[in-house]
Structure 1
Amino acid sequence: MTAQEQHETIEDSPVGWVASHVRRYVETDGADGGTFHGIPSLLLTTRGRRSGALRRTALMYGRDGDNYLLVASNGGASRHPAWYLNLSADPRVEIQVGAERFAAHARTASTEERARLWPVMTKVFPTYARYQKGTDREIPVIIIERTSPEDSTIH
């Protein structure tokens, strides 16, 4: 992060229970909040596509080698979650896993990658399969790839 970004306020999810989860996670470096109902959880910070503000949310994740995997399920809603729209507009993100924070690049899995990674994520959280059956949109799988510290994650 640049010096300016280090002083920017990060806005946590407007959803009350998610904001509470994020606060506990930040305050304890993931000791409280590093899992959600037994499922690994991380913090994702994106740049708002319209507001330009830094936005942070807590999300369940899976792994594929060194990469982190997210699912833009939005609880099975017919529209993508705001965090996904933000990283689609600017793929430079920051991730916090436990106490570790790092710069990363987010991208939507290709059709071939999704075919391989969707079962990984439905094993992490089987409800994703039900969400997919209940919506007409294809729920994206997002691949988070660590970048070097000198790569500004959020401009």
Structure 2
Amino acid sequence: MTSAIDLHGAPHVARYLETNGEDGYHWRNGTTVLILFTTGRRSGEPRTNALIFRPWGDAYLVIASKGGADSPPAWFLNLSDDPEVEVQVKDRRIPVRARVATPDEKPEMWRTMVEAWPDYDDYQASTDREIPVVVLEPR
């Protein structure tokens, strides 16, 4: 059986959920992953995404990078439409409210996320879009 370290997208999410994060929480280069549950803004369908994260106090930080693409990821647009979502961290499902980090907060939060995944700096350099740090605060 392939480890979740080798999986992306829906297969990674499925393995994470099947194993309550036992396989999938720890991912590449020593980073950690949560599952974000949103509702499609156009479809109304449930959506799930495996995202690299770091804790920030009681909250969780994720980056809406889409690998440095000029458009934001769909999950970020879904959050913009409905910020009341859920995350799963290992076996804990947590209701959260999403918001974009303020300009004052962002530099320190960005550094924390780049420590987790250094490619974020490369992603930002490859686009004119300002890549947001998303703060997921328990509600």
Amino acid in the other structure paired with 1:32? D
| Residue 143 of structure 1, CA deviation | 0.2
| Residue 17 of structure 1, CA deviation | 2.9
| Residue 115 of structure 1, CA deviation | 1.8
Unpaired runs of at least 5, structure 1: 1-15, 148-155
Residue 13 of structure 2 is aligned to residue 36 of structure 1: no
Residue 91 of structure 2 is aligned to residue 99 of structure 1: yes
Task: Identify the residue that residue 63 of structure 1 maps to in structure 2.
Answer: 55
Tell me, in whole angstroms, the C-alpha distance in 1 between the residues paired with 2:56 and 2:25.
18
Unpaired runs of at least 5, structure 2: 1-6
The number of residue pairs the alignment matches comes to: 132
Task: Identify the residue that residue 89 of structure 1 maps to in structure 2.
Answer: 81
Paired residue secondary structure (2:105): helix
Paired residue secondary structure (1:136): coil
Q: Which runs of structure 2 are paired with 1:2-151 in the superposition (5 Å)?
A: 17-37=8-28, 38-147=30-139
Show structure 1 runs of 4+ deviating over 6 A: none
Paired residue secondary structure (2:35): strand
Of all paired residues, the percent bearing the same amino acid is 48
| Residue 102 of structure 1, CA deviation | 1.3
Tell me, in whole angstroms, the C-alpha distance in 1 between the residues paired with 2:91 and 2:26.
13
| Residue 43 of structure 1, CA deviation | 0.2
